[in-house]
Amino acid sequence: MSTLETPSPPPPPSATATVRPLAKKRARPSEQLFKWLVVGLTAITMAMLICGAGSISWSFLTDKPSSNPAKAGFNSALRGSVVLMMVTIFFAWPIGVAAALYLEKFAAQSATLTERRLRERLTTGRVSGLGAGWVHARLWWLRIRPRVVHLIDVNISNLAAVPSIIYGLLGLAIFVGVMGISKSLLAGGLTLAVLILPIIIIAAREALRAVPISIEQGAMALGATRWQAVRSQVFPAALPGILTGTILAMSRAIGETAPLIVVGGVVFSTAVPSLNPLEAGNEALLAMPLQIYFWTDQPQASFQAIAAAGIIVLLATLLVMNLVAIILRNRYSKRW
Amino acid sequence: MLLALAAAATISVLVTVGIVVVLVEEGALFFTDVPITEFFTGTQWFPLEGKFGVLPLLNASIVIALIAAVVAVPLGLGSAIYLSEYAPERLRRVVKPVLEILAGMPTIVLGFFALDAVTPALQMVFPGLGLYNALAAGIVVGLLITPLISSLSEDAMRAVPNSMREGAFGLGATRRVVSLRVVIPAALSGIVASIVLAISRAIGETMAVTLAAGTIPNLSWNPLEGMQTITAYIVQVSKGEATRGSLQYDSIFAVGLLLFAVTLVINIIAVRIVRKYRTVYQ
């Protein structure tokens, strides 16, 4: 205590250290070394990744395969991919967005008001028999709901990390085995839909979360129910974000190979699939990555060249999808 | 209407249940024919001769994931440190989305890259290297997971509040010391989790290893040899016409169950690491 209170004696003016001018202060060698190490690693990463993707395209844009019989084959792969994407989106988008809406906007809300209302109904005795049972069931649901929602949360993030080939096994056993769908574009599309479902849910939830709560509260203050507020205020505001996430999920699905091989095998088919998604159940499972795999797996060098050409088409498609997503994000993203 | 929304949310749970039920049910069929002890202790995997010892496949998956980690951890961490601590904001805003796009690169493209560019380059260094080898597969899988590590680690490092950096600078620390002694320890849980997640992704990776590492089961730690991973085996069987109900058909579900269990355990470890060691800064 006493040591704190005694004032320290001021240092004698002669004892101050000479100040080194800042300009003469050199960075120590270890500093420079570390900085350049880090810069170098970044540069190597970017260079390897970009050249890796780029060199494939460039070397094969310049030397085209002379014999070109399989070129027509890529047409059917392209059509197959288009139909696959239509089937995938048709199933994954509504379910994914609905799940996100429920988890983000309805399940997470506080239930005290509803609970009080239900209890009032029980105590006033206005309900009896079956009605009372229903009220009890709703009360029980409200009590366990937070735990169920947490379980679904954990489950979705785990699903997003499951290897894609496992989804192929799921599709093979359920869609082909149990439901008896032939090894077709429909079975492949359904498998991809299951694969991107968690991705769409996560992206849509993030988009919904970005809409400030005041929008919803404002609508509800004017008399809208929560459902009306979500439907006509929150959902439209979140739509660009949801679409961006959907496009990114589709770009994941369009490059997936492994689950499609597991579901449908690698078939060699000269048939050109119809673009009508309603006929997807009868069309052989063809897709761009499958065709590329088929060509890459062949020993002859000419097939390698065609495979590279196919890769260019696939990468170009991906690039376009990503660009659309970025433009959509920049154009419609709002700062609230 | 609300019920319909709730039903949609339940579907995601059904998917998980479906995965587990399918793998266990079909895998159980396999284990009625092949004793589970033989599956886990056998050192030979020749399905046509009825030898089902999973160790060569599991070993190959682990070897390739380790090579990938050796490639990806320095590259990913180095670029994360640069982007978070050194890079000007404008550069960061360009590089970050590019990294995220690259993380979504189809793995079939990387497999082709391995066969077409990496293996020939390696053959110049190691003469006599076969076309199919674990090293090339590991390197491209490393490239695949580098953006993942870099992007997630960078997020973790940027979450460290600036006041901590400024405090260290105020005490005379240099940028290197701030990066290594302040930011990395503070963001360690996120960084480790990103590496663990990346390894899980590497184990589940399929097309690149199928194309680059070959289809011959081989219990070996030598990365210059070809080997078949779990995922490559599943592809090899599915590619042909394995009839439903045959032992081979069942075997892909058995190894799939093993793969699912391994990646699930790794992911749970990652979540645990984050939850246990995360420090929340205001």
Give residue-wise pLDDT tens across range A304-335: 777 777 887 888 888 888 888 888 877 776 66
- Residue bearing the bigger pLDDT, B85 or A16: B85
To which residue do tokens 């968690």 refer?
A198
Please state, for a pLDDT cut of 90, what percent of chain A lies above it. Answer: 19
Structure confidence at residue A13 (pLDDT): 54
CB contact under 8 A, A56 and B116: yes
- Residue bearing the bigger pLDDT, A36 or B62: B62
Q: Show residues of chain A in contact with B5, CB under 8 Å.
A: 98-99, 101-102, 106
Asked whether residue B36 is assigned to any structural domain, the reply reads no
Q: Show residues of chain B in contact with A162, CB under 8 Å.
A: 19, 204, 260, 263-264
Asked whether residue B3 is assigned to any structural domain, the reply reads no
Please state, for a pLDDT cut of 70, what percent of chain B lies above it. Answer: 98
**Residue A32 above 80 pLDDT?**
no
Structure confidence at residue A280 (pLDDT): 74
Residues A79-83 have a mean pLDDT of 87
Asked whether residue A30 is assigned to any structural domain, the reply reads no
Band the pLDDT of A67: cuts 50, 70, 90: very low
- A212–chain B Cβ distance below 8 A for any pair: no
Asked whether residue B232 is assigned to any structural domain, the reply reads yes
State how far the alpha carbon of A175 is from the alpha carbons of A79, A209, A263, in Å.
22, 34, 9
**Residue A2 above 70 pLDDT?**
no
- Residue bearing the bigger pLDDT, B227 or A123: B227
Secondary structure string (H, E, C) spanning chain B:
CHHHHHHHHHHHHHHHHHHHHHHHHHHHHHHHHCCHHHHHHCCCEEHHHCEECCHHHHHHHHHHHHHHHHHHHHHHHHHHHHHHHHCCHHHHHHHHHHHHHHHCCCHHHHHHHHHHHHHHHHHHHCCCCCCCCHHHHHHHHHHHHHHHHHHHHHHHHHCCCHHHHHHHHHCCCCHHHHHHHHHHHHCHHHHHHHHHHHHHHHHHCCHHHHHHHCCCCCCCCCCCCCCCCHHHHHHHHHHCCCCCCCHHHHHHHHHHHHHHHHHHHHHHHHHHHHHHHCCCCC
Amino acid at A37: L
Asked whether residue B42 is assigned to any structural domain, the reply reads no
CB contact under 8 A, A168 and B238: yes
Which residues touch B58 (CB under 8 Å, ≥6 apart)? B230, B258, B262
Number of domains chain A contains: 1
Asked whether residue A223 is assigned to any structural domain, the reply reads yes
- For the record, the structure tokens of B95 come out as 């590089």
**CB A215 within 8 Å of CB A313:** no
Amino acid at A167: Y
Asked whether residue A124 is assigned to any structural domain, the reply reads yes
Q: At what angle do helices B247-277 and B188-204 cross, to 10 degrees?
A: 170
Q: Show residues of chain B in contact with A52, CB under 8 Å.
A: 110, 113, 117, 143
CATH number, domain containing residue A135: 1.10.3720.10
Asked whether residue A36 is assigned to any structural domain, the reply reads no
**CB A317 within 8 Å of CB A254:** yes
Closest CA in chain A for residue B239:
A265
Range of the domain at A308: 69-332
Closest CA in chain B for residue A46:
B99
Structure confidence at residue A223 (pLDDT): 92
CB contact under 8 A, B116 and A308: yes
ipTM for the whole complex: 0.88
Number of domains chain B contains: 1
**B39-80 pLDDT tens trace:** 888 788 887 777 888 888 999 999 999 999 999 999 999 999
Residues A125-150 have a mean pLDDT of 81
Asked whether residue B31 is assigned to any structural domain, the reply reads no
- A85–chain B Cβ distance below 8 A for any pair: no
Closest CA in chain B for residue A92:
B8
Asked whether residue A53 is assigned to any structural domain, the reply reads no
Structure confidence at residue B182 (pLDDT): 92
Which residues touch B161 (CB under 8 Å, ≥6 apart)? B281, B282
- A297–chain B Cβ distance below 8 A for any pair: yes
- Residue bearing the bigger pLDDT, B150 or A133: B150
Residue of A33, A34, A36, A38 to mutate when probing chain B, most B C-beta within 10 A = A38
Q: Show residues of chain A in contact with B26, CB under 8 Å.
A: 173
User: How many CB atoms lie under 10 A from the CB of residue A306?
Assistant: 26
Residue of B5, B83, B85, B200 to mutate when probing chain A, most A C-beta within 10 A = B5
CB contact under 8 A, B204 and A166: yes
**A188-244 pLDDT tens trace:** 999 999 999 999 999 999 999 888 889 989 999 999 988 899 999 999 999 988 998
Asked whether residue A3 is assigned to any structural domain, the reply reads no
Residue A324: exposed, middle, or buried by beta-carbon count in 10 A (0-12, 13-18, 19+)?
middle
CA distance A286 to A304: 19
Range of the domain at B99: 55-240
Q: What is the mean pLDDT of chain B?
A: 87
Q: What global pTM score does this model have?
A: 0.83
Which residues, numbered 235 to 274 in chain A, qualify as contacts with chain B under a Cβ-Cβ cut-off of 8 Å?
Answer: 248, 251-252, 254-258, 261-263, 265-266
To which residue do tokens 């799939």 refer?
B256
* Among A41, A48, A257, beta carbon nearest to B108: A257
Asked whether residue A236 is assigned to any structural domain, the reply reads yes
**B113-147 pLDDT tens trace:** 888 778 888 888 888 788 888 899 999 999 889 98
Q: What is the DSSP letter of A12?
A: P
CB contact under 8 A, B15 and A30: no
- For the record, the structure tokens of B106 come out as 């189809």
**CB B209 within 8 Å of CB B229:** yes
Q: Show residues of chain B in contact with A151, CB under 8 Å.
A: 13
Q: What is chain A's alpha carbon radius of gyration, rounded to the nearest angstrom?
A: 30
CATH number, domain containing residue B124: 1.10.3720.10
| Distance from the A246 Cα atom to the nearest Cα atom in chain B, whole angstroms | 14
| Distance from the A80 Cα atom to the nearest Cα atom in chain B, whole angstroms | 17
* Opening angle at CA A60, ends A59 and A63, nearest 5: 95
CA distance A10 to A26: 32
Q: Show residues of chain B in contact with A173, CB under 8 Å.
A: 22, 25-26, 253
Q: Show residues of chain A in contact with B23, CB under 8 Å.
A: 166, 169
CB contact under 8 A, A52 and B113: yes
| Distance from the B164 Cα atom to the nearest Cα atom in chain A, whole angstroms | 20
- Identify which of A73-77, A283-287, B153-157 has the greatest average pLDDT: B153-157
Tally A–B CB contacts below 8 A.
Answer: 245
- Residue bearing the bigger pLDDT, A320 or A268: A320
Structure confidence at residue A55 (pLDDT): 52
CB contact under 8 A, A102 and B6: yes
Residues A59-83 have a mean pLDDT of 60
Residue A184, SS3 per DSSP: strand
Name the stretches of chain B with pLDDT < 50. none
Asked whether residue A315 is assigned to any structural domain, the reply reads yes
User: How many CB atoms lie under 10 A from the CB of residue A75?
Assistant: 12
Structure confidence at residue A113 (pLDDT): 76
